[in-house]
Structures are given as structure tokens and as C-alpha cells.
Amino acid sequence: MNSRIYLDYNSTSPLAKSVIDFLAKGDFSYANPSSIHKSGKDARRLINQVTNQIFQTFHLDPKVYDLYFHSGATEFINTFFQFKKDDAYLFSAADHKAALKQGEKCKYAYPISIDENGVLDIDQIKERIKAHLKSYPHSRVLINIQWVNSETGIIQDLSFLKEIKQENVFIHIDAVQSPGKIDDWQVLNEYADAYSYSAHKFGALKGLGFSFCKVGYPLEPLLIGGDQQAGNRAGTENPLGVMTIGLALEELKHYPRLEIRKLKDEVINLIKSNENLLLVSDPQNSNANTICFVDKHNRADGNLIKFDLQGLDISSGSACSAGSVEPSAALLAMGHEQYAQNGLRISLGPDNLEKKDLILEKLKKVIASL
């Protein structure tokens, strides 16, 4: 379709091939799944089928977790994090903005430190929980944990959840960057109260997502209106969008993780060959597709243009708003203040494998010029 080479899969992904084929056929359910006529029931059946598929994919029990479809992780993060007087909020400064901004809604919001390798300080989480619940025994502690960091690809080991889970401690896992990209993306830790996903990050349509939330979690609906999704998320459901989630998830089972990791290693070698550059994502503890690095002497804005001129779509480590590069939350949190505006992120995807040689040739040229 175009000559650009897309290396920005953490930002969003192209549609999965099965989704493109399905949409091209144009033969899909359009009825309102809440309607009681036959067409409505057919649409409901499709949503139920995909719901079952999602539970099976993640090996979860529908008696333990509810599943909600929504517009994406941002929506569910805003739904899950609603604070009562004296509740506390724990998060990391390297979290996605959707999670960071929840701190503005809470009187007791505590950023948890991460170390220079991007790993959360678990002792600090434990201490914060203990201190807060001692001062406010009838309050709750709500915690956001980003499983895989979107800027660096660094993976948090979630095995500590059992050490912090208590009756009045509620844990949301931002799992947006995990599907396909880490080995155990389908293995969820049941000490977490909720997991959120955005469909556009793994090949389904944009403006869609889903979350698991423990049965019994006192979810306050963000959108009120109709009684869809047991009144927890009002608004007509989207059977077409949900179908694309089912197709893209199925395709993810064949995600070429090893091949993508090999390509990542080759890109890392190029980065390491230039002493002006510093690799941020620890190859041992980051996902298969993300490479975050900084140019020690230059801001990301100018460097992005160099990649752009070679036809390579890459991203700065941080969010770009109004065309300018904001300091990277992850680099700041990891103690790289001096490089916070110099971060660059290459995030690979399955379609890159066909053009591997061309990608490496172009990257070699640009990286050597930095």
C-alpha cells in the first residue's frame, strides 16, 4: 500500500490479516445484540462466542472474573480507579498517562520507585500499604501495575502479587503491551483484581478493548444509561468490533515471537556499535519487540526526522503532543533525567519479518549517523 516501514507497533498495530479478510467480505452481523429478534440474538451469540474464546485464551474461570468490553484500556483504568475518602493510590511514575492521571483524583497518591533497570520497588509497595492501612484502617489501597512498559518493553515479574493482596488492597494490571510480545502473556496471576487490554495493540479495530475484573469488585460504572453488560458499561455493544478481537487473538497464538526477538537482537547490535547511543531496555528482561535507546547528545525531535527521511516510522520514547517531544516518563523514573528528551523507541511486529534485510540496512545507515 505504501513504501513506509512501520516500526511503531507499541503505539498501535496494523490490522491482523484475518481481520482484513473478514472485513473485506462485508458479511457481518449488524443487529443490536440487546434486540430480542433473531438477528439480535445472532449478534448476542457472536459476542458470547468471543467471550468464551477470551476466557479460554487466558485460562480464566468466568465464575472468578467478569469480562467487560469497552473502548480501550484508558476507559477501564478510569472505571476501576474511583476512590472513596481516605483510599490510597499506588502507581509507578513510568506508568501510562491514563494511570498517572488517576493520581489527580486521589488525596493519597503515592508513586512507587523503579530502579535503573525499570523494576518496581516491591518493599516500598508493601511499606506504603502497611502505613496507609494503619492510619486509615477502613480505607482501601488501589494499585496500578504496568505488566510490560510501553516505552521500554521492560517486564514486571507479577509473582509478588500474592505478597501484597489483601481484603482491602485492589490490584489492576495494565496488560496492554503484553499480548503476543512476552512468553507467558496468556498466563494471568489470579491475585490481580483486574487486567486491561486494548484491541488495537494486537491487530483488532481501534477504540475497543476488554478487561477482566474479579466478580465482586465494587465497580462503579463510568458510563450509565442502558443495562448493557450487567449495567456496568452502558451503551450498545459492538459485535463487529468484538469479532475482530476474537480473530486477532486467535492469530496471536502464532505470533512469531522468536523471530521478532532475533530481529530485535540484530537492531540492538547496531545500537551498541555506536558509542553515542545508550541502550535502555535490558534485553534479558524486556519483551520481544521493543528497543528503547537514547542519543546521549541529541534530543529525539531531530533524530526522528532522520528515521522519517529513510521511510522508517519510529517513535520517541515518550509521548509526542502537538508535534513536540515531552520528557519520557520511563526514562525519568529510571533515573535518566539528563536523557529524558532523547529517548527513541523502535517497536517491531510480525509484518517486519518479510522486510528484515531492508529494515536492517536502513536502520544501519541512520544509526551510524547519530
Ligand X SMILES: Cc1ncc(COP(=O)(O)O)c(C=O)c1O
Question: Cβ closer to ligand X: 72 or 239?
Answer: 72
Selected from 102, 152, 156, 198, the binder of ligand X by CB under 6 A is 198
> Using the rule CB under 6 A, which residue among 74, 79, 232, 281 binds ligand X?
74
From candidates 7, 46, 72, 271, binder to ligand X by CB under 6 A: 72
Cell 515479574 sits on residue: 157
Query: Please, what is the minimum distance in Å from the beta carbon of residue 365 to ligand X?
Result: 29
Which residue, 209 or 239, is less far from ligand X as judged by CB? 209
Residue of 5, 67, 73, 164 interacting with ligand X (CB under 6 A) = 73
Q: Are 13 and 201 in contact (CB under 8 A)?
A: yes
CB-hemisphere CA count at 13 Å for 41? 3
Helix (H) or strand (E) holding 312: strand 312-313
Determine if 367 is a binding residue for ligand X (CB under 6 A). no
Q: Which of residues 139-168 bind ligand X (CB under 6 A)?
A: 146, 150
Report the alpha-carbon distance of residue 33 to residue 41 in Å, rounded: 6
Q: Which of 98, 106, 125, 292 binds ligand X (CB under 6 A)?
A: 98
CB of 146 to ligand X, least distance (A): 5
Judged by beta carbon, residue 178 or residue 303, the one nearer ligand X is 178
CB of 92 to ligand X, least distance (A): 11
Cell for 266? Answer: 540484530
Nearer to ligand X, 211 or 229 (CB): 211
What interhelical angle do 239-252 and 38-57 show, nearest 10?
Answer: 30
Q: At what angle do helices 239-252 and 17-25 cross, to 10 degrees?
A: 150
DSSP string over 207-260? S-EEEEEETT--PPPSS-SS-GGGGTS-S---HHHHHHHHHHHHHHTT--HHHH
Query: Under rule CB under 6 A, which residues in 16-45 are in contact with ligand X?
Result: none
Q: Which of 67, 176, 194, 242 binds ligand X (CB under 6 A)?
A: 176
Report how far residue 304's alpha carbon sits from residue 302's, in angstroms, rounded to the nearest whole number: 5
- Residue of 54, 94, 96, 288 interacting with ligand X (CB under 6 A): 96
C-alpha 178/C-alpha 156 separation (Å) is 11
Residues engaged in binding ligand X (CB under 6 A): 72-74, 96, 98, 146, 150, 174, 176-177, 198, 209
